[in-house]
Amino acid sequence: MKKVKCLLCPRGCELKEGERGNCRSRMNMGGKLQTLVHGKPCAVHADPIEKKPFYHFLPGSLSYSLATAGCNLHCLYCQNWEISQSNPEDTVNMDMSPEQVVQGAIENNCRSIACTYSEPIIFFEYAADIAKEARKNNILNVWVTAGYINQKPLEEACGFLDAIKVDFKGITEDFYQNVTRGSIGPVMNAIKLIKEKGIWLEIVNLIVPTYNDTREDFSRMCDWITENLGPDVPVHFSRFWPTYRLKNLPPTPEESLILARNIAMSKGINYVYIGNIPEHEGNNTYCPACKKLLIERLGYTVTQNYITSGNCKFCSAKIPGRWD
């Protein structure tokens, strides 16, 4: 029986009959590459969109969020490792067709559907079918991804997605190889392509003590963002909590998050946020023109919103995002 090569992500797995890809979710069956997770989510919840996090995309709304087992990266700190590092047959799965997913979103008053928790790239066919069904019902589609994907499938995904949040995990090749078992080049290319395609983009960088938390790390990442994405892509610096294979580390000190935010703002990034510290002012959105508070957040809850038709209520400056 012939080998098949998976062209979805940069790993390019070449699989013999009955062999699975690195992501655990794709298999050579009878000489054809087959997904093992279509219609079999292992996690389904109605979440605040802020939990993804998206701060400039339908603030205050709910997003019907789902995942299947498996991932094409193997991050040492993965908070969802029980599903991302498992075979599909080892998780508790539901049978949900794309039509049933969309119906669940409607019943839970969700304005969007998010493929999240693990990695939407590895359940690409399922995610695509859900998105096409969602479009028929005026429901928006978002991905929460690490961006470790080849150009051609990403271009296809951009055709059915409304927003993408990319976990830009570090700024060095060493970090990607040692901590995620991936590489940085494809992620950078993916981020640039998403921006070029005009899909709403937000970036998250989880700051892990001793791994990617130096002033130089923050400065290099912010330089790359401003040079390749411009000043208006929201950037979230998030606090690490000890988990999975990095339980020996402490949580990220608040001072590191503040330093990263200050460096980003000093380099001209207009919308810089601090994640996983619920009451910090870094959760809020401020107008870069008049500096007034525009969106106040407490945890995942929007408590005030002064953006009107995409503009600052106070000075009428345009605030980039998808607001309604």
Domain ranges of the chain: 1-36, 37-281
The reported pLDDT for the residue numbered 30 is 94
Using a cut of 0.95, tell me whether the model's pTM lies above it.
Answer: yes
- What one-character DSSP code corresponds to residue 252? P
pLDDT digits (tens, 9 = 90+) for 115-133: 999 999 999 999 999 999 9
Determine contact, residues 164/201, Cβ cutoff 8 Å. yes
**pLDDT tens profile 238-282:** 999 999 999 999 999 999 999 999 999 999 999 999 999 998 999
Q: Which amino acid is at 121?
A: I
Q: What is residue 25's predicted lDDT score, i.e. its pLDDT?
A: 98
134 has pLDDT over 80: yes
- The Cα 63–Cα 119 span in angstroms is 16
Helix (H) or strand (E) holding 266: helix 254-266
Model confidence at 1: pLDDT above 90: no
pLDDT for 122 equals 98
Average pLDDT, the chain: 98
Q: HEC states along the chain?
A: CCCEECCCCCCCCEECCCCECCCCCEEEECCEEEECCCCCCCEEEEEEHHHCCCCCECCCCEEEEEECCCCCCCCCCCCCHHHHCCCHHHCCCCCCCHHHHHHHHHHCCCCEEEECCCCHHHHHHHHHHHHHHHHHCCCEEEEEECCCCCHHHHHHHHCCCCEEEEECCCCCHHHHHHHHCCCHHHHHHHHHHHHHCCCEEEEEEEECCCCCCCHHHHHHHHHHHHHHHCCCCCEEEEECCCCCCCCCCCCCCHHHHHHHHHHHHHCCCCCEEEECCCCCHHHCEECCCCCCEEEEEECCEEEEECEECCEECCCCCECCCECC
Task: Name the band, by pLDDT with cuts 50, 70 and 90, for residue 2.
Answer: confident
pLDDT of 292 reads 98
Rounded average pLDDT over 32-44: 98
Note the pLDDT tens digit of each residue in 159-213: 999 999 999 999 999 999 999 999 999 999 999 999 999 999 999 999 999 999 9
Q: According to the model, what pLDDT value does residue 3 have? A: 94
Give the pLDDT confidence of 291-305 residue by residue, as tens digits: 999 999 999 999 999
Residue 41, pLDDT > 80, answer yes
- pLDDT at position 151 over 80: yes
Q: Is the pLDDT of residue 74 over 80?
A: yes
pLDDT at 184: 99
The verdict on domain 37-281 having CATH code 3.90.1150.10 is no
